[in-house]
Amino acid sequence: MVNTILKEADLFCPNSVRINFTIYQMNKIRRRSFISSKN
């Protein structure tokens, strides 16, 4: 599913979408590790 979203995003606006998606994923991972380290 993620791959198809990225492929459609590539057709629409390749660079900014991929960068935003990468930042979003990194923030998700960072937030998850921050929450788990608090517990």
Dihedral (Cα; 15, 21, 25, 31), 10-degree rounding: 110
Structural domain of 34: 2-38
What pLDDT is attached to residue 13? 63
pLDDT band at 3 (very low <50, low <70, confident <90, very high): confident
What pLDDT is attached to residue 39? 56
What pLDDT is attached to residue 11? 67
Number of domains the chain is built from: 1
Per-residue pLDDT for 4 more than 70? yes
What pLDDT is attached to residue 20? 82
pLDDT band at 34 (very low <50, low <70, confident <90, very high): confident
Phi/psi of residue 7, each to 5°?
A: -65, -45
